[in-house]
Amino acid sequence: MRLVDARGLACPLPALRLARAVREAGPGRYRLLADDPAAAVDIPALAAERGWMLLAAGPGWFELEAGPQAAAR
């Protein structure tokens, strides 16, 4: 699982950091740390837009599966 730490960044920067990480590292599982309250809306929206699967989320963190295998599920 790849870790993307976007704590302390205001949205939309956490979503942009996650998108860049997926673009650079490729498909797989990601854990995003983001403490901006707007991330609770932005990250699920990004996942839905990109066809990624939001596996779990809690206060300040999100686990996603990104890539073609996520869209196929």
What CATH number corresponds to the domain at position 27? 3.30.110.40
The helix or strand, by DSSP H or E, that contains position 44, with its residue range, turns out to be helix 39-50
Residue 52 located in a structural domain? yes
- Could you tell me the residue range of the domain that residue 24 belongs to? 2-66
pLDDT in tens, 8-31: 999 999 999 999 999 999 999 999
Residue 32 forms part of a structural domain? yes
Q: Nearest-5° angle of CA 26, CA 59, CA 42?
A: 55
In this structure, is residue 56 part of a structural domain? yes
> Has residue 72 been placed in a domain?
no
Give this prediction's pTM: 0.92
Number of structural domains the chain divides into? 1
Which one, of 67, 64, 40, lies nearest residue 54 by Cα?
Answer: 64
> What pLDDT shows up at residue 73?
61
71 in a structural domain: no
Whether residue 8 lies inside any domain: the answer is yes
